[in-house]
């Protein structure tokens, strides 16, 4: 007992004293959950916000409320990704009052369009992904770039470790309230290589270079 306490005192202070904290923070052990398998659905949940000021919606315990991604009219269900499967997904969304006003905030960069997915399926351990739409907010409408690259990183343990999404077309689409808008998601998965950096053994997932000779040159220089 005393031994445990002393051990804890030592290791707990080590943890507290370190300037590095494990991420994602969770009391759960991720390895007790099965990893993803190819093609497995990866649902996205997004932060609910108030339409007037973009502030989070909280539950009675003060937790941020998440809701499934917007409904795509094609499938009548929210957009979800498929683990390690590249795809081009069209998702037509009806820009009704609430969604229209939220997109005014997203495009104006008053609030991020932040969603989350699980590190491992059904683990309850979540990581964030921001969908960075670009465009211009005008008085009675907005112009939106509806074509997004979605880049997802997985690791050798078949976990999803990071993701990002951003508009990438040369033209915007004019949107008025109540209109159906076809959003296009170009989803690409990449297996990121874990590199241990620094004296504190921090693991970093880096996207591999498209040019392997560049990596060789950098490592050997």
Chain contacts with ligand NAG (rule: CB under 6 A): 170-171
Nearest to 182 by CA among 100, 92, 96: 92
DSSP strand pairing (126-132 vs 135-137): unpaired
Residue 146 or 163 with smaller CB distance to ligand NAG: 146
Report in angstroms how near the CB of residue 148 gets to ligand NAG at its nearest.
17
Residue number of the CB atom closest to ligand NAG: 171
What minimum distance in Å lies between the beta carbon of 172 and ligand NAG?
9
Least Å from the CB of residue 122 to ligand NAG: 42
Beta carbon of residue 170, minimum distance to ligand NAG (angstroms, whole number): 6
Instruction: Compute the C-alpha angle 61/67/68, nearest 5°.
Output: 155
Cα–Cα distance, 78 to 105 (Å, whole number): 21
* Closer residue to ligand NAG in complex, CB, 130/143: 143
Which CB atom, from 53 or from 171, has the smaller least distance to ligand NAG? 171
Taking the least distance from each CB to ligand NAG, the nearer of 21 and 171 is 171
H/E run at residue 135: strand 135-137
Sheet strand arrangement including 45-47: 66-68, 45-47, 114-118, 126-132, 160-167, 147-154, 180-191, 87-94
The two structure tokens encoding residue 29: 């052990």
Single out the residue of 111, 205, 198 nearest to residue 154, CA to CA: 205
Smaller CB distance to ligand NAG: residue 129 or 175?
175
CB contact burial 106-120 (16+ within 10 A = b; e otherwise): bbeeebebbbbbbbb
Q: How far is the CB of 177 from ligand NAG (least distance, A)?
A: 22
């Amino acid at each position: 007992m005393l031994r445990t306490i002393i051990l804890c005192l030592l290791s707990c202070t080590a943890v507290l004293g370190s300037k590095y904290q494990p991420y994602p923070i969770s009391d759960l052990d991720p390895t007790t959950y099965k990893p993803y398998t190819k093609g497995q659905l990866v649902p996205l949940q997004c932060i609910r916000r108030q339409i007037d000021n973009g502030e989070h919606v909280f539950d009675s315990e003060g937790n941020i409320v998440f809701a499934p991604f917007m409904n795509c009219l094609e499938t009548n269900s929210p957009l979800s990704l498929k683990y390690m499967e590249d795809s081009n997904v069209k998702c037509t969304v009806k820009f009704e009052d609430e969604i229209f006003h939220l997109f005014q905030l997203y495009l104006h960069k008053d609030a991020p369009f932040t969603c989350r997915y699980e590190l491992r399926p059904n683990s309850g351990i979540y990581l964030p992904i921001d969908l960075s739409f670009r465009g211009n907010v005008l008085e009675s409408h907005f112009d939106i770039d509806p074509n997004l690259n979605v880049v997802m990183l997985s690791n050798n343990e078949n976990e999803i470790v990071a993701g990002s999404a951003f508009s990438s077309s040369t033209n915007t689409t004019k949107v008025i309230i109540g209109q159906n808008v076809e959003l296009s998601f170009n989803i690409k998965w990449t297996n990121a290589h874990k590199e241990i950096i620094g004296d504190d053994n921090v693991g970093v997932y880096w996207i591999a270079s498209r040019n392997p000779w560049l990596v060789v040159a950098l490592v050997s220089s």
